[in-house]
Structure 1
Amino acid sequence: MGREKGVFIHAKYFPDDASVVLVGVTLEQRERELVDRSYSSHWRKLINKQ
């Protein structure tokens, strides 16, 4: 379904809070993550740690 909508979902688990955060990026962003290793953790910056 994600391919049909053009979205890739990353998941980050926070054990201290026993929670999971999902971050959606475009398939174009995902392709860049796979090619450019310096961009691979860019999606983590989108998580608001409050």
Structure 2
Amino acid sequence: MRHPQCLELLDTEDKLRAYLRDHADELRKVRAVLFLCELPLTDAS
């Protein structure tokens, strides 16, 4: 099975961990990093 180089739609750690778990046999040598690029907006008052 071929996998893309970048999975931009995995936007949460839970989704990333589930994907890695579900495809563990195929992704034995793959390393993944999740960068938190967006922070939630908060009320400054």
- Structure 2 length normalisation: TM-score? 0.29
TM-score relative to the length of structure 1: 0.27
The structure having more radius of gyration, on CA atoms, is: 2
More strand per residue:
1
Which structure ranks higher in relative contact order (CA pairs < 8 Å, sequence separation ≥ 6)?
2
